[in-house]
Amino acid sequence: MELVQKTTLAGQHSTNKLQGPVFPQAFARSLSSHFRRPVHYRSAGVDGGDINDIRRLCMDVLKEEVASESSNRKSNHSYVSGTPDLVVVLFGINDLKHLLADSVMRPFHRSNDRGGDGGIIGKFRHGIDSLLNEIHTHAPNAIVLFPAMPVQSYHKNSVVNIFPLGMVWDAFLGFFLRQKKELANKRVNCMHLDLTAAEIANWYKTNNEEEGSFFGSNFSGIKNSALLSSDGVHPNKMMYKLWAESVCQSVYDSVAPQIEQAKKNE
């Protein structure tokens, strides 16, 4: 989970090499460039965690930011700057892994009488709703962003790209993404940012399909595996950077007028 305020940029970062979590740094830098003003960000994550882990373990960061502003006190920490304008939440792959580990068929249980989808999918939707409710309880005007995961890029030698696992992966993943998008579209101050296979393909230039080698337009000699972690599914640092810049462009195109108007009304 990433909190973004267009106030001050926290910390000093090299322009040549990204240190620490790449996505929030690249996103904040790109956002700062688009809006032409300093950006403050904080990030929190759970290694291998799902949406419920994010809610349980990462909300303290948001609460600290909000408390620092509402109490009108100056924090001793330079990275605390107040209620965020944007909250970016990356999730989905680990939720799907937990789903498959639990049961393949439970997601297709009939809807329950409380309006959920039943089974694991119902729990997934409940987790998303719970996180959104908690975020907006503390920061009601913050825009929550759910970027689509760049999962279309998994390596051709990955285990999930072996028939029929690839078909199962695509089916469950599509089901998951539909939950995120549907819930985001129903909520105020929440957006799902799409990412198509064509956009991801722009990060790659096929060089040798037999060997699975690819070249990106901005990265000489880059290979397919160089954009993925060792599991062949999760992005590595370079893909996180490309992804963050893509998300930033979508954010700027979508919410820039809304944020700028809110700033004028303050």
Query: Is 55:130 a contact under the CB 8 Å cutoff?
Result: yes
What pLDDT shows up at residue 132?
A: 96
Residue numbers of the chain with a pLDDT score lower than 70: 1-20, 70-80, 99-100, 102-118, 151-169, 172, 204-226, 229-233, 258-260, 262-263, 265-266
Q: For residue 145, what are the contacts with CB-CB under 8 A and spacing of at least 6?
A: 86, 87, 88, 89, 190, 191, 193, 247, 251
What pLDDT shows up at residue 116?
A: 45
H or E segment at 102? Answer: helix 93-102
Query: Is 50:127 a contact under the CB 8 Å cutoff?
Result: yes
Residue 32, amino acid? S
Query: Is 46:93 a contact under the CB 8 Å cutoff?
Result: no
Beta bridge mates, 216 = 219
The hierarchical CATH code for the domain 2-154+179-199+237-265 is 3.40.50
Q: State the greatest distance between any 2 C-alpha atoms of the chain, in Å, as a whole number.
A: 61
Domain ranges of the chain: 2-154+179-199+237-265
3 state DSSP class of 233: coil
Give the side-chain half-sphere CA count within 13 A for 139.
28
